[in-house]
Structure 1
Amino acid sequence: MRVYGVVGWKNAGKTGLIERLVREITGRGITVSTVKHAHHTFDVDHEGKDSWRHRVAGATEVLLASRNRFALMHELRNEDEPRLEDLLARLAPVDLVLIEGYKRDSHPKVEAHRKATGNPLIAPGDPTIRAVASDEPMDLDRPVFDLDDTVRIADFILSEVGL
């Protein structure tokens, strides 16, 4: 599977960019999955529900399934956070996996940047960031796209991964 990331500081537009890229790229007939890194605790089920009760009882994995989707929850009980490569190995094969976050990993990335956040760019010190998508013009040693120019960003990523 080919992988490409979108990184940036909080409120830089990462999720919106990923969402638009998924629509654009799947609209071209290319299969896409996503991986989102969360820096905080999250839950996909609710207290009192059967799947929650299974996890609280001590199950290592709980697979919740219906005719529309399934979700596999794996409890990390005294385990380190899984490496990105191990998580990717669990995905069903697709043409492209878009990764939100994991900015310290070695896969190629586009940095999302919004001027209003006041955050510095990550790109100047990181050769894995192959381009920047920003709401302000900038002069860099790599391509800079308008943050809302989804078609050009998608074209760039697909060219980068050979699709």
Structure 2
Amino acid sequence: MEELRSAMEEHMDLMADLVQKFSSDLRAGFRPAYDNFIGFFHAIDWKEPWLMGLLGFHVVLLLVAIISRKKTNFQMFLFLLTLAGVYLAESLNRFLGKNWKNFSSQNYFDPSGLFMSVLWSGPLLVISMIILINTLFSLCYMIVRWKRAELRHRARAARNKQD
């Protein structure tokens, strides 16, 4: 009985420590993450032409995805294209890391690929998710249309059978 009591007390102490750590993390809030983001944001020279071109590319790609939302085949092509861009991000990061002096004032292309993940892969993944969600909505709409047509066909067939 004493062993059970000892085990319960250890468990309660462990749980109390976890709750205390969790509450201290909540009190700290998102401040460390926010500080890291602000530091990352200020470390980038946003006036570089290639960076403005990259941001413009993502905006144009997003607009194309939104404008072409009713063209399913083109959307699938665009979806595969964006995912291919994400897939090639590591190779692109390596290539740009070797040649950054040709187009940039500083080397943004670290071996871990943080810059490429945030400014290349992140927007491409967001655009891919928008395309995917649009495709799912289109498929749901198509299934509803198909089911309505099937029910109309069955009702027509039942009427014809009664006549």
Please report the TM-score for the alignment, with normalisation by the length of structure 2. 0.23
The structure whose residues are more often strand, as a share, is 1
Return the index of the structure with the highest Cα Rg: 2
**Structure with greater helix share of residues:** 2
Please report the TM-score for the alignment, with normalisation by the length of structure 1.
0.23
